[in-house]
Structure 1
Amino acid sequence: MTRVLTPDLLLHAYRQGLFPMAETRDATEVFWVQPRMRGVLPLDGFHLSRSLRRTLRRGHLTASADRDFAGVVRGCADRPETWINDEIFAVYLALHAQGDAHSIEVWQDDRLVGGVYGVTIGGAFFGESMFSTVTDASKVALACAVRRLIERGYRLFDTQFITPHLASLGAEEIPRSRYERRLVAALSITADFGPAGPIALDQVAAQRITQTS
């Protein structure tokens, strides 16, 4: 456990395959996690279903990158049980301020209704958490994230753990040793998350990745 969580310490931990969590929102201690089985979302294996394509094209949602990072983290923490305590919240805001953490936001009528955020190092994106308050908002955020990561030269989308929701989108579990090999390869390249601003959802819908019914 650690009581002093800094951006430099966090980046060092990610390079070693670790990430921080807290037991509860009010916990004063942060502990490091290194799962035996790691969740990853293959960038060439995202399941963009026909129904999700329709959602992307309907026009009732919009998306952006790095428009409201704090709002996305706050949305992710706004649930009965969360591992995001005040210290973790603060350190991710600091990482974002120095350009090492990014978010994808999903909006409906200028209201933030979903998003995903994570840390970037080299060609790796370490997805931390996502949230959704309307149907498919988190799926839209992930579809936008995958498109951007592919376009910007990333090699690894780390989801840490697997949930049924992530598995339905193509995420898989791999052993720690295999993950560490992928991590080393991703860290050896240079990638850039790109500029903040709006994301064209019709272009996201048109991306050529695994399609399911």
Structure 2
Amino acid sequence: MTIDADDIVAVGGSLEPRVLVEAYRRGVFPWPIDGLDVLPWFCPKERAILDFSQIHLSRSLRREIRKTPLRCTVDRAFDAVIERCAEVPRPGQDGTWITPELLDAYKAMHRLGFAHSVEVWDEAGALVGGIYGVCVEGYFSAESMFHLAPNASKIALLHLVEHLAKAGCDWIDIQVMTPHMQALGAVVLSRRQFLERLARTRVMGLRPFG
């Protein structure tokens, strides 16, 4: 991620659930930076989202999804998913932004019903992929995902999309554009456009996780 000082809207503060919930309501999320002693809070000038109506799946991915033996669940193993997201190496990254403090904070959010996960399991019952994020008033912010089997993270994402769509949701916040998300049809909004869409979603009163 290329950081612009204008993307940071606050520094310091607490990771208590009440603080996190209020931050997400305003489109703000925490993201630690190596070498910075205080916690920065971001609301990027350019925000990536995945609009469900614009999702594009390649023929090869559609074929893989049709024949996959992998199965998905929702909120069956949140702690395991976020821990794998923190542990599994990613190309071009030396470490993880999911610090022990963030692990504890999001686990607490899950226990309170604000953080959720999709798990992907293989035929032997092993966890091979997943995604987690925060859902506040129908607005879902995807935080991280991992895979230990081909296409497992994509399958998790698409299962999440299907789950949210059934409740009337039509987009998710992915925060920062990546080549993987761009290939799926993600788009970039200005901060103003993003916050306007967030506000429209919140007033709808959707409850995708009960």
Pick the TM interval, shorter chain. Answer: 0.7 to 0.9
Q: What is the Cα deviation at residue 133 of structure 1?
A: 1.6
Please point out which of 61, 65, 72 is paired with 2:74. 65
* TM-score of the aligned structures, taking structure 1 as reference length: 0.85
Partners of 1:59 and 1:18 in 2: how far apart?
36
Give the count of matched residue pairs.
Answer: 194
Work out whether 1:172 is the aligned partner of 2:181: no
Please point out which of 180, 191, 201 is paired with 1:186. 201
Please point out which of 84, 108, 114 is paired with 1:75. 84
**Corresponding residue of 1:4:** 14
Q: What is the Cα deviation at residue 28 of structure 1?
A: 6.5
AA at the equivalent of 1:152: A
Partners of 1:93 and 1:135 in 2: how far apart?
27
Q: What is the Cα deviation at residue 21 of structure 1?
A: 1.1
Work out whether 1:132 is the aligned partner of 2:147: yes
Partners of 2:139 and 2:28 in 1: how far apart?
13
* TM-score of the aligned structures, taking structure 2 as reference length: 0.86
Q: What is the Cα deviation at residue 60 of structure 1?
A: 2.1
AA at the equivalent of 1:8: R
* Gapped regions of structure 2 (runs ≥ 5): 1-10
Q: Is the 8 A contact 1:100 1:120 kept in 2?
A: yes
AA at the equivalent of 1:117: Y
Deviations 1:157-187 (A, max 9, x none): 0000000011111111111110011010011
Q: Is the 8 A contact 2:53 2:170 kept in 1?
A: no
RMSD over aligned CA atoms reads: 1.8
Partners of 1:77 and 1:36 in 2: how far apart?
26
Please point out which of 12, 15, 18 is paired with 2:28. 18
Regions of 4+ moved over 3 Å: 26-29
Cα pair distance change 1:27/1:104, threshold 3 Å: farther
Of stretches 78-87 and 123-132 in structure 1, the one that deviates more from structure 2 is: 78-87
Instruction: Determine helix, strand or coil for the equivalent of 2:96.
Output: coil
Deviations 1:55-78 (A, max 9, x none): 222242111111111111111111
Deviations 1:33-64 (A, max 9, x none): 11110010001122233222222222421111
Q: What is the Cα deviation at residue 3 of structure 1?
A: 5.0
**Corresponding residue of 1:96:** 110
AA at the equivalent of 1:162: M
Q: What percentage of residue pairs aligned between the two structures are identical? A: 39
AA at the equivalent of 1:12: E
Partners of 2:36 and 2:81 in 1: how far apart?
21
